[in-house]
Amino acid sequence: MERYHSTREAPTPQPQASQPYRRRPALARWVALLMALLTLTVGLKLTVFNASYTAGVVSRSSTGEKVMNRVNNELTDLGISGDPVSATLIQPYLAQGIAQLYGQSTATVDDTALASAIQSQASSVGVTASTALTRKLTQRAQKLATRAFTTTAMQTAATRVQWAMRLNWLVMIAVVLLSIVTVIYAAGVHHFLASLGPGLALGGGLTVILSGLGWFVGLPMVTAALSGPVASLCTAVAQSGLGVILFAGAAEVVLGFLVLLGHRTFRRS
């Protein structure tokens, strides 16, 4: 019966050789470019093109101080001395004026904090501030804040700012869509983490370089055609926003090196 059985042994499966690691430097450079553009556009939208953030910078500038001093001077004329109106209290009214300058919808400002500060200061100096008086003073503060952004120079700058906001929005949407496609592609070729680390590091460095060029080169060129007070105000707002973007770029460099180090450690193990 042995002749009916094959004496040949089944072939032993040979272990397949592991695929060598393939670097994709072009993909890492593309991710770096996307990260730099995304950081710049999102950073500008959250800082320079954000009415609330801009109002915080303006409230500490000469423009905000003028509005604050005018309101405090009118309170002093009424016998309420001590300058109860601070930069924090005037900031919501400045934000409303900036939102109009940006062509955005404005909401009604809650004047509770300002009215309470006026009434408290009036009580401390022995002056009775009625509800009608405090309402009138808060409305006056709103008019002064709005009037600061209705000058001809401000309206000229507003046209350029609104154009820059639209351009920034379009670029940001395009970068987000390209980033989604890139993530899908990188995951498909099993190269997501290998591209993320260099992309973050190079993209953060590119963000720092572009922000520095914008600070020292681009900003003086843009504000050269503006009048003195408007130019100084735009410079203060832009430098504050670029400072935030510079910090974000530096953080991306550190995070990129950490991701790159972690990926190499796990790949070797």
Q: Which of 108-122, 142-156, 162-176, 185-199 has the highest mean pLDDT?
A: 162-176
pLDDT above 80 for 183: yes
Q: In this structure, are 72 and 141 located in the same domain?
A: yes
pLDDT value, residue 265: 73
Q: In this structure, are 157 and 264 located in the same domain?
A: yes
Mean pLDDT computed over 67-92: 91
Domain-located, residue 138 = yes
Domain-located, residue 18 = no
Helix (H, G, I), strand (E, B) or coil at 84: coil
Q: Give the domain range for residue 92.
A: 53-147
Q: How many domains does the chain have?
A: 2
pLDDT tens-digit map of 195-253 = 888 999 999 999 999 999 999 999 999 888 887 888 889 999 999 999 999 999 999 99
> CA-CA distances (angstroms) from residue 151 to 66, 117, 141, 148?
14, 29, 17, 7
Q: In this structure, are 213 and 126 located in the same domain?
A: no
Where among 147, 169, 187 does a domain terminate? 147
Q: Judge whether 179 and 195 are in contact, CB under 8 Å.
A: no
Domain-located, residue 192 = yes
Tokens of 79: 């016998």
The pLDDT-based confidence of 107 (bands split at 50, 70, 90) is: confident
Residue bearing tokens 């260099």: 198
Q: In this structure, are 175 and 247 located in the same domain?
A: yes
Domain-located, residue 5 = no
Where among 147, 163, 183 does a domain terminate? 147
d(CA 78, CA 213): 50
Helix (H, G, I), strand (E, B) or coil at 103: coil
pLDDT value, residue 17: 47
> CA-CA distances (angstroms) from residue 32 to 1, 29, 179, 192, 217?
71, 5, 11, 13, 23
Average pLDDT score over the chain: 87
d(CA 116, CA 118): 5
Q: In this structure, are 160 and 131 located in the same domain?
A: no
Where among 147, 169, 193 does a domain terminate? 147
pLDDT value, residue 12: 56
- Percent of the chain at pLDDT above 70? 89
Lowest mean pLDDT: which of 20-34, 74-88, 125-139? 20-34
> CA-CA distances (angstroms) from residue 123 to 116, 133, 195?
11, 13, 64
Tokens of 75: 């309170």
Per DSSP, 8 falls in state S
Cα 149 off chain centre by: 22
Mean pLDDT computed over 149-158: 88
Q: In this structure, are 140 and 162 located in the same domain?
A: no
pLDDT above 80 for 267: no
Q: In this structure, are 75 and 143 located in the same domain?
A: yes
Domain-located, residue 207 = yes
Q: In this structure, are 138 and 120 located in the same domain?
A: yes
Nearest to 55 by CA among 100, 118, 12, 6: 100
pLDDT value, residue 192: 78
Per DSSP, 178 falls in state H
Q: In this structure, are 174 and 218 located in the same domain?
A: yes
Q: In this structure, are 158 and 260 located in the same domain?
A: yes
Domain-located, residue 62 = yes
Q: In this structure, are 236 and 109 located in the same domain?
A: no
Q: In this structure, are 264 and 159 located in the same domain?
A: yes
Comparing 8 with 95, the larger pLDDT belongs to 95
Mean pLDDT computed over 159-168: 94
CB-CB neighbours of 222 under 10 Å? 17
Domain-located, residue 128 = yes
Domain-located, residue 6 = no
